[in-house]
Amino acid sequence: MKIRTIGPLAATIVRTSAVIALGMTATAAWSSSHREAPGIAMNPSVDATDLYMFRSYETGRAAYVTILANYIPFQDPQGGPNFYMFNPNALYEIHIDNTGAGSEAMTFQFRFTNKSSATALTVGGKAVKIPLIAAGPISGAAPATLGVNETYTLNIVRGDRRTGTSASVVNAAGGAAPTVFTKPVDNIGDKTFGGPTGYATYANQYIYDVTIPGCSTPGRVFVGQRKEPFYIAVGRIFDLFNMNPLGPEVGGNNNDLEGKNVSTLALELPIACLTAGTDPVIGAWTTASLRQGTLLSNAPATGLNKVSLQGGAWTQVSRLGNPLVNEVVIGLDDKDKFNSSKPKNDGTNFADYVTNPTLPALIQTLFPAAVAPTNFPRTDLLTVFLKGIKGLNQPTTVAVPAEMMRLNTSIAAVAIGAQNALGVAGGDNAGYPNGRRPGDDVVDLSIRVAMGALCVLTGATDTLQVGCKPSDAPAGALPFTDGVRKTSVNYGATFPYLTTPLPGQLNPPAAAGTTYP
């Protein structure tokens, strides 16, 4: 087991059996957030599904952090004729806390616009607009056969997201409109893009080098559709854990998201631009907001969307830091409240859901042998949930306990193929819960911590300072699993790391001999 030195945490893992150590990587963040609250389920265009944050492991990019914020869940590849666009009436944001204050020190803001080219065919002497996004094969930049152009702007705000200082992130290559970036259209299908590799070639044109105000080193941005990276037996989990929780960790169940796509906001940012002072730990979360008021109009649309009047302040409707907090931690009546809340208020608004969690009790009800932890309040979960793990990813100062993803940027990245899907528990400190990479198995590890793995791991002298002991967790050493696992090699080795989205014609399955990553 390979462990880099991180103080008492490393010493504890080294002398702990591999089975027990599997619980180390969870942070009370349970798995992926898809349709996690009643309100947001009705507006999927602003529904955040997953957040990833990790030291870049592409060759030559060691000085960077990659942040991936995924939106618009459960995309069927055959989603025509409109496919999946970001909402032009929404504000999508990625927030960074580098002081431990529980609030943003900087925010990256994305705004979208779409415009139809009104492509028409002459039929019986009349020009009639076609019903498809593409009028023919697509290749190259700004193809004439593409009937809709989706663009976006990217701003950085330092300080409060609404009252801070805002500046435009610009295309380092310049050009006529350096502040406007293009999003590639979704993967309509192989005929449209000339074969299985055609879409990758097309979409890669829209990875931009960008100049970030206040940063001496350029970064990169990509926005576009990707193959859904998250893996989970979601159907069985939400069917009252209809599975064998102690069965095989690999191949025990199907990945219910294998045939889906998702829309990604991808940033690669210089570490030196993200950290403050000498503390290498940063926190991050993503949100989406809509205007307080919308008035529909019967006037003709100017683009692809019906004209509406937007007014009032931005109102946050989606929030995601650590995965699946809202689905299986927050109570049903407070899910939309969580989506509209700020991390700095978590200790006041949602602490009971962490100190007295319902998930372990539900698991015990369904599987009586899986005895839930008995230590209340659950200080083990409260510590890792709102502060980070001391010696790993806890900031030097935690002024306000707050739920967000945390990354220690001083821990070097691990190359693709060498990463351990069990993250810190597998001797790979560059993985979950020190940030999160696409291949990290957060589901298995999170269930184990919910059942008390940290109480077992911390030992009788509470080495991890989580406030419990092994006798508090009768099932804390059991290797709970959903039976689904991937590894880093299932993803890309270069930015934006997530793989080419599945093509629209991939239903029914592709013909024999045709494969997709």
Q: What are 456-503's pLDDT values in tens digits?
A: 988 999 988 889 999 999 999 999 999 999 999 999 999 999 999 999
Q: Once rounded to an integer, what is the mean pLDDT over residues 492-517?
A: 81
pLDDT in tens, 1-37: 232 333 333 333 333 333 323 333 333 333 345 677 7
Residue 1 lies in a domain: no
pLDDT given for residue 4 in this prediction = 34
User: 306 — phi, psi (to 5°)?
Assistant: -60, 140
* Complete edge-to-edge strand list for the sheet that includes strand 208-211: 48-55, 64-75, 261-270, 219-227, 208-211, 170-171
Neighbours of 202 (CB within 10 A): 23
What is the distance, to the nearest Å, from the Cα of residue 212 to the centroid of all Cα atoms in its chain? 22
pLDDT for 307 equals 60
Angstrom distance (rounded) from CA 508 to CA 450: 39
CA 107 → CA 98, 183, 284, 395, distances in Å? Answer: 11, 20, 9, 19
**Measured CA angle at 89 (ends 88, 92), to 5 deg:** 80
Note the pTM of the prediction, 2 decimals: 0.90
- Confidence band for 445, pLDDT divided at 50, 70 and 90: confident
Q: In the predicted model, what is the mean pLDDT of residues 110-120?
A: 92
215 burial class (0-12, 13-18, 19+ CB within 10 angstroms)? middle
In a domain, 516, yes or no: no
Helix (H) or strand (E) holding 373, with range, is none
The predicted structure's pLDDT at residue 302: 54
User: Does residue 500 sit within a domain?
Assistant: no
pLDDT at 295: 82
Domain span holding position 233? 8-490
Asked whether residue 509 is domain-assigned, the answer is no
What is the average pLDDT value for the chain, to the nearest integer? 88
Residue 497 is assigned to a structural domain of this protein:
no
Residue 13 to residue 401: CA distance in whole angstroms: 26
State the pLDDT at residue 265.
98
Which range is most confident: 234-248, 312-326, 492-506? 492-506
Tell me whether residue 238 is in a domain.
yes
* In-domain check, residue 496: no
Q: Please, which residues bridge with residue 291 across strands? A: 314
Residue 385, pLDDT above cutoff 90: no
Task: Say how far apart CA 441 and CA 481 lie, in whole Å.
Answer: 10
pLDDT at 20: 29
Tens-place pLDDT, residues 200-219: 999 999 999 999 999 999 99
152 domain residue, yes or no? yes
Number of domains into which the chain is organized: 1
pLDDT value, residue 338 = 87
What's residue 33's pLDDT?
A: 58
Cα gap 64→282, rounded to integer Å:
13
For the segment 429-458, the average pLDDT, to the nearest whole number, is: 92
Give me the pLDDT at residue 6, please: 35
Where residue 334 falls (left for φ over 0; alpha for ψ -120 to 50; beta otherwise) is: alpha
Instruction: Write the single-letter amino acid at 454.
Output: L
Residue 517 pLDDT = 59
Stronger pLDDT, 104 or 196, i.e. the higher one: 104
pLDDT, one tens digit per residue, over 289-308 is: 999 988 877 666 555 666 66
Under 8 Å between Cβ of 481 and 453: no
* Interval 83-110 mean pLDDT: 96
